[in-house]
Amino acid sequence: MASETGKTIDQGDPEVSEAVDFAHYYAEAARKLEKVDGATFVPAKLTVVTPPWNFPVAIPAGSTLAALAAGSAVVIKPAKQARRSGAVMIEALWEAGVPRDVLTMVQLGERELGQQLISHPAVDRVILTGGYETAELFRSFRKDLPLLAETSGKNAIIVTPSADLDLAAKDVAYSAFGHAGQKCSAASLVILVGSVAKSKRFHNQLVDAVTSLKVGYPQDPTSQMGPIIEPANGKLLNALTTLGEGETWAVEPKKLDETGRLWSPGVRYGVRRGSYFHLTEFFGPVLGVMTAETLEEAIAIQNQVDYGLTAGLHSLNPDELGIWLDSIQAGNLYVNRGITGAIVQRQPFGGWKKSAVGAGTKAGGPNYLAGLGDWVSADASATRAVTNAGVGRIQNAVAGELEPTEIDSLQRSLGSDALAWAHEFGTAKDVSGLSAERNIFRYRALPVTVRLSEGAPLAHLARTVAAGVLAGSALTVSTAVELPAQLRAVLTGLDISVTVESDAGWLASAARLAAAGKLSGARIRLIGGDATALALATDGRPDLAIYAHAVTEAGRVELLPFLHEQAISITAHRFGTPNHLSDELI
């Protein structure tokens, strides 16, 4: 890792631990796949793994181990800048007993060969970690490619006047310049609220923290920030050398040798809302400083970017923490600590908005393996009484329209949903149970369109919409058949709009919405129909997630399309003394 990607010891060492963590975690998660009540997991036959160079061991290991644990054969193509690191990791798996005809490594020197691999019809899944542009490229090869991707980030830390400014300056510097800023989770922005914008103490501490970093190559064990992966060019070179309107250098980055790879870190003040630097991802050692009059304005600035990977807050005020937790749009949230260095299970990793692609879930989290195959229904046995009023109204509305076997299946399904909601989806959990840090995993509802295709049973629509209602999702229903009057009235009463349109009309409508950019970030739960036709109609948009698996009785499976996952890590001590800032909030 050091020789290929410039990783310093403090950055490379945790990767080995993370790879080991992934192995243990996914082995245990695979056992749970067989115990899902109400559905049977069907592994993908072949998964292609295309990892990045910036985490050349941990991410390739995690993606490969997850697919293997889920029962899939794997073809892995390590990033060309990190092919030796990837090869060492893969050799370790072969030596441990993974058959070579189940795990294959390839290096492809020509883009045409890569395109053939990604687009080949035998490939059931592609796991990508990389830029959003790469996800767009892969989908251009094959519009219906089942692509699960963790993509870009443009991440910010908010610092309020109630923060420990010394700690905030340290965490901002570490988050911005660890691995020379070449982490998708890195802090690219810091937003100073109110008086912090004029605080000499914070300014001096930040500048001191940044300028005291020892920059060098990793063969020097005292190096704290290593080189960038290749000579700076394009938008990164622009970020390192060119200021925007109203911007000034608090710490001007300098090229330190003739390779063009070794740069000192840079800090630019005066970054304006909506500016090029505010909204553009730069993969390198440069930090932008923005200001806001209020926390609410800072949150709006933080949420304005297209990505939603990591986000940070430094504040010792519980009211501010509560406001931030209720409104921030990111998959991984960090309070009074750095925003990089997610740990398996403790902080499952994955973002919102354009930071995540496909019908997948967080790496190192409880649902990741569920997206690495397909599901078929089975009879649910462990159920719970239905107490959600909206779900009960849907059940009653279709009772007279279904066959007895469908009524029984619906009743089991809704009971399975209630059980899954009570034990998993409807509660925030801290499974790590550390005393010094709270690591909370929770689910947040999001809008979903449910489509009932021609020939698909009404019972499946009722079952799916009921799951969405239980999850609290804002639903839109498109159906190929006119719904019974009582069901339609119930849906209308639940603020669910219903449109009747043929499959051809539905695809044409989806194509128009996609062309107009109105499906950005959307989710569609497709019941029956042709998922490939929908992918083609929407031009394979990476920012549209299509869930097309068979409708099952398992609440553990059917609630997932209606929910975002969010991991929150909160420092729960101050100078070693426990504090309880967030205990009443989450």
Q: For strand 475-479 and strand 497-500, is the pairing parallel, antiparallel, or unpaired? A: parallel
Residue 354 Cα distances to 270, 366, 369, 491, angstroms: 26, 22, 21, 30
**Residue whose structure tokens are 């501490």:** 205
Alpha-carbon gap, residue 21 to 346, rounded angstroms: 11
Per DSSP, the residues of 519-537 read: TTT-EEEEESS-HHHHHHH
- Classify the phi-psi angles of 363: left when phi > 0, otherwise alpha if psi is within -120 to 50, otherwise beta: beta
Other C-beta atoms closer than 10 Å to the C-beta of 482 total 9
477 touches 506 (CB < 8 A): no
Distances from the Cα of 3 to the Cα of 77, 228, 265, angstroms? 19, 12, 21
Dump the DSSP string for 411-461: HHHHHHHHHHIIIIITS-B-SS--SSEEEEEEEEE--EEEEE-TT--HHHH
Cα–Cα distance measured from residue 497 to residue 368, given in angstroms and rounded to the nearest whole number: 31
Of 4, 15, 150, 565, which residue is the catalytic one?
A: 150
Give SS3 for 249. strand
| C-beta atoms surrounding 257 within 10 Å | 11
Show the tokens assigned to 417: 């949903």
DSSP 206: H
Task: Identify the active-site residue in 15, 184, 406, 558.
Answer: 184
Tokens 């990164």 belong to 236
Closest CA to 78 of 100, 104, 102, 97: 104
Assess whether 150 carries a catalytic annotation.
yes
CA separation (Å) from 99 to 28, 93, 298?
A: 20, 9, 51
DSSP 8-state symbol, 188: E
Residue 424 to residue 49: CA distance in whole angstroms: 29
Count the residues in the chain: 586
Question: Alpha helices of 286-432 — where are they, by DSSP H?
Answer: 295-303, 318-327, 389-398, 404-420
> What is residue 372's DSSP assignment?
S
Distances (CA, A) of 413 to 41, 381, 472, 492: 17, 9, 17, 22
DSSP state of 561: G
Q: Look-up: residue for tokens 């609220």?
A: 193
Residue burial 538-576, b: 16+ Cβ < 10 Å; e: rest = bebbbbbbbbbbebbbbbbbbbbbbbbbbbbbbbbeeee
> Which phi and psi angles does 302 have, rounded to 5°?
-65, -40
CB atoms within 10 A of CB 520: 15
Residues 29 and 67 sit within 8 Å (Cβ to Cβ) = no
Say which DSSP state 55 is in: S
The residues assigned a catalytic role are 150, 184
